[in-house]
């Protein structure tokens, strides 16, 4: 398989700088919105394969990677959803597939509820279903904060093993290299938002075709949560990925793409 080399870009949208990596592909545009502490480059191994089918864009959310960061910015879910809407408009993308993982899936849901005019479909990968009056997100804030503070001082793949024991050395090294770009107040705000923002109110508003990918392990989306989501929006189709925790492609790379084949009708499994 030929390795697809990304190009890096910066654009101005919603009043700030957004950095993204583009993995050019033959098909429709796909915008990948990563999770709470995942700079765009850490999704490169996934984006390379996505680019076999889609023209793939991977963004650094504000406060992460090479996008605008620091004090004075709004790091709320609404601000990040407005970013996504503005990015699609600035790049003049049409019928874009929005693939959001974890926090990125919540961003996609809120953005589509606001303005889905440039979206073709949503792929929601294991979004946290915590919120007001609901059970807590299973991860704990110190896991993020402690690792970020170590990364700010400088850490290597071996030190990252304590936080990501099942990852490969290459994956841990890349996270160790880039985690310091995750601005701690942005991460704290997003984590708190997992418990104060109600994405369930947005689900009935989704008009764009939407699918849900669920990790078989990790407890982010339990069977009752899946049933509630489909009750709120019966058009949503779902599938579970076996042998995978919340970071699905890190745990079961082929299973992630098999799930996309089921949900999107693609043929990644045959490539």
- Positive or negative torsion for Cα 202, 204, 206, 212: positive
Structure tokens at 64: 């992460």
Name the helix (H) or strand (E) containing 189: helix 184-196
Question: Pairing between strand 119-125 and 96-101?
Answer: parallel
Q: Domain 7-135+197-270 class? A: alpha beta
Distance of CA 145 to the CA centre of its chain: 19
Compute the radius of gyration of the chain from its Cα atoms.
17
Q: State how far the Cα of 191 lies from the Cα of 36, in Å rounded to an integer.
A: 8
Res 5: pLDDT:
86
Could you tell me how many residues make up the chain? Answer: 271
Res 271: pLDDT = 56
233 touches 210 (CB < 8 A) = yes
Question: Is 18 one of the annotated active-site residues of the chain?
Answer: no
- What pLDDT sits at residue 2? 57
Per the structure block, which two tokens stand in for 189? Answer: 């705000």
Residue 269's pLDDT is what?
A: 77
The label of the residue with tokens 């693609």 reads 266
d(CA 7, CA 257): 23
- pTM here? 0.97
Please list the pLDDT of the chain residue by residue as tens digits (271 residues): 457 789 999 999 999 999 999 999 999 999 999 999 999 999 999 999 999 999 999 999 999 999 999 999 999 999 999 999 999 999 999 999 999 999 999 999 999 999 999 999 999 999 999 999 999 999 999 999 999 999 999 999 999 999 999 999 999 999 999 999 999 999 999 999 999 999 999 999 999 999 999 999 999 999 999 999 999 999 999 999 999 999 999 999 999 999 999 999 999 976 5
Contact of 151 with 141, CB cutoff 8 Å: no
Catalytic entry in 102, 130, 147, 210: 102
Three-state secondary-structure class, residue 39: coil
Angle at 68 between CA 64 and CA 69, to 5 degrees: 60
Q: How many helices (H) and strands (E) does the chain have?
A: 10, 8
Active site residue 101: no
Measured at the CA of 254, the angle between CA 266 and CA 159, to 5 degrees, comes to 135
Q: CA 79 to CA 2: how far, in whole Å?
A: 37
Structure tokens at 53: 């089918």
Angle at 78 between CA 149 and CA 231, to 5 degrees: 110
Catalytic residue among 136, 170, 222, 267: 222
Establish whether 102 is a catalytic residue: yes
CA distance 269 to 151: 36
φ, ψ for residue 12, nearest 5 deg: -100, 125
Encode pLDDT of 19-74 as tens digits.
999 999 999 999 999 999 999 999 999 999 999 999 999 999 999 999 999 999 99
The residues, ordered by sequence, that sit 6+ positions from 245 with a Cβ below 8 Å of its Cβ are 166, 215, 217, 218, 251
């Amino acid at each position: 398989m030929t390795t697809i080399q990304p190009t890096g870009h910066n654009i101005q949208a919603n009043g700030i700088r957004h950095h993204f990596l583009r993995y050019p592909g033959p098909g429709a545009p796909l915008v990948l919105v990563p999770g709470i502490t995942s700079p765009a480059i850490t999704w490169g191994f996934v984006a390379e394969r996505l680019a076999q089918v889609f023209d793939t864009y991977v963004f650094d959310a504000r406060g992460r990677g090479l996008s605008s960061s620091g004090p004075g910015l709004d790091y709320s879910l609404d601000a990040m959803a407005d970013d996504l809407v503005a990015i699609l408009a600035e790049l003049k993308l049409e019928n874009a597939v929005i693939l959001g993982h974890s926090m990125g899936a919540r961003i996609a849901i809120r953005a589509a509820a606001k303005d889905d005019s440039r979206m073709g479909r949503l792929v929601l990968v294991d979004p946290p279903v915590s919120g007001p009056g609901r059970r807590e997100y299973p991860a704990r804030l110190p896991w993020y904060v402690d690792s970020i503070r170590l990364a700010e001082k400088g850490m290597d793949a071996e030190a990252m093993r304590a936080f990501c024991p099942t990852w490969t050395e290459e994956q841990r090294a890349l996270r160790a290299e880039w985690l310091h770009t995750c601005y701690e107040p942005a991460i704290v705000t997003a984590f708190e938002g997992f418990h104060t923002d109600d994405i369930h109110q947005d689900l009935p508003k989704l008009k764009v075709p939407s699918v849900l990918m669920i990790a078989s392990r990790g407890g982010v989306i339990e069977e009752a949560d899946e049933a509630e989501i489909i009750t709120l929006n019966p058009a949503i189709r779902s599938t579970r990925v076996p042998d995978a925790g919340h970071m699905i492609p890190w745990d079961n790379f082929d299973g992630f793409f098999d799930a996309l084949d089921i949900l999107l009708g693609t043929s990644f499994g045959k490539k």
